[in-house]
Amino acid sequence: MDSPGLKIEIREQIGIITMKRPQALNALNSEAINSLQLALKSLPKFPEILALIITGEGKAFIAGADIKELSEMGPAQAFNFSSKGQQTFERFEKLPYPVIAAINGYALGGGCELALACDIRIASTDAKFGMPETSLGLMPGFAGTQRLPRIVGYGNAIYLMTTAKTINAIEALRMGLVQEVTEPGDLLKVSLEMAQKITKQGKYAVRAVKEMALRSYSYDFKNSSELESEVFAGLFHRPEADEGMKAFIEKRKPKW
């Protein structure tokens, strides 16, 4: 089953979504987000699914939101883009079964945020993680400001988001950003083995654990991620963001 920019396969009780826009390192444009929404819509047609894996084709998991598309946006469009991405990621998070991010290569910005909305993250040794939005004069807009501190702790989250530093899989493991690291050639195999392990547990027990663990996120999460869209959109009023994104597209350092 294919939609623009992604493929869904079902292997027995495991769904696999592969992002397929390798020429742009699977960067999330509006079309890719629409495809993720379509994929979410189609998942209930497969009641046999007990775990889902998300991965990327080529040398990236997802290198972030599409900067070329973002650079054309004004504040109102940026707000809508951020809200749509947040809603889509939240629907992954709320799926009744565990979702595993199988992270090959780059998981930056919005790509790291999608991985954060998954329940478990497995990285290949060549994976690279980061929240480089501030280097573009932007900030995470897919609820990364809310999920990252909950997963890696406040200090690590601020460190990653304010330095725009990229870290490798071992550093990500040390921070608790990923649960396992594997050789690149074994990533899908290890992810499938973990998914199979999940499918062997009590189906309702696994659902209940996920539902209750998600409740540990406070009520404030929703309000804060809504506010994140507003603050994200506010940055589009500033020349800094224009310059940051333009510099990326023109393959040069921003002048600010």
- Selecting among 9, 31, 72, 113, the annotated active-site residue is 113
Helices (H), the chain: 30-42, 67-70, 75-93, 110-117, 144-152, 154-163, 169-175, 187-199, 203-215, 220-234, 239-249
DSSP code per residue over 63-84: --B-HHHHTT--HHHHHHHHHH
Considering only 6, 19, 52, 138, the residue that binds ligand CAA (CB under 6 A) is 138
Considering only 5, 56, 98, 141, the residue that binds ligand CAA (CB under 6 A) is 141
Q: Going by DSSP bridges, is the β-strand pair 128-130/166-168 parallel, antiparallel, or unpaired? A: antiparallel
Tell me: does residue 148 bind ligand CAA (CB under 6 A).
no
Q: Which stretch binds ligand CAA (CB under 6 A): 12-20, 31-39, 44-52, 134-142?
A: 134-142
**Residue 174 CB contacts under 8 Å (≥ 6 apart), including other chains:** none
* Residue 113 bears catalytic tag: yes
Tell me: does residue 228 bind ligand CAA (CB under 6 A).
no
Binding-residue pattern over the window 157 to 196 for ligand CAA, x denoting contact by CB under 6 A: ----------------------------------------
With beta carbons less than 8 A apart as the criterion, state whether 169 and 159 touch. Answer: no
First-residue to last-residue Cα distance in the chain: 45
Tell me: does residue 235 bind ligand CAA (CB under 6 A).
no
* Residue 133 bears catalytic tag: yes
Catalytic residue numbers read 113, 133
Q: Where along the sequence are the contacts to ligand CAA (CB under 6 A)?
A: 24-25, 27, 63-68, 85, 106, 108-110, 113, 132-133, 136, 138, 140-142, 144
